C-alpha cells in the first residue's frame, strides 16, 4: 500500500467528488482519502493498495491534470497525517 498527495484541489471539493474523479481516470484500488483544507489550497492524501512503483506512475500521470479549472499537483508520498 502506498500514498499520493494531491494538491491545488478546488476549495469546495468533497471526498466523494475526489473519489469519483480518481475512479473516472481509472485509478484502481483506492483506499482511505484524508482531506486537509487551507485557504485556497485544499489537499488530499490518498491511499492506494498497489506497490510503490505503480503508485509512483499514477502520481506522475495525475501531476498537472486539469480538473475544475485547477491544475492538480501530485506527488508519491511516504508520509501520513496522523493515521
**Looking at residue 83, what is its pLDDT?**
47
Residue 47, domain member (yes or no): yes
**pTM, 2 dp:** 0.87
φ/ψ (deg, to 5) at 60: -65, -35
How does pLDDT run across 43-82, given as a tens digit for each residue? 999 999 999 999 999 999 999 999 999 999 999 987 655 5
69: how many CB neighbours lie within 10 A of its CB? 6
Domain hosting residue 13, numbered range: 2-73
Residue 40, domain member (yes or no): yes
Residue 79, domain member (yes or no): no
CATH code of the domain containing 53: 3.30.70.330
Residue 81, domain member (yes or no): no
Measured between alpha carbons, how far is 46 from 32 in angstroms, rounded to an integer? 6
Measured between alpha carbons, how far is 62 from 32 in angstroms, rounded to an integer? 18
Residue 33, domain member (yes or no): yes
Residue 7, domain member (yes or no): yes
Amino acid at each position: 500500500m502506498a500514498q499520493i498527495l494531491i494538491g491545488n484541489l478546488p476549495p469546495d471539493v468533497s471526498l466523494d467528488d475526489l473519489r469519483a474523479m480518481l475512479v473516472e481516470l481509472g485509478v484502481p484500488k483506492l483506499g482511505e482519502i484524508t482531506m486537509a483544507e487551507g485557504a485556497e489550497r485544499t489537499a488530499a492524501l490518498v491511499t492506494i493498495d498497489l506497490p510503490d512503483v505503480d503508485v509512483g506512475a499514477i502520481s506522475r500521470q495525475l501531476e498537472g491534470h486539469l480538473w475544475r479549472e485547477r491544475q492538480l499537483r501530485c506527488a508519491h508520498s511516504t508520509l501520513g497525517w496522523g493515521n
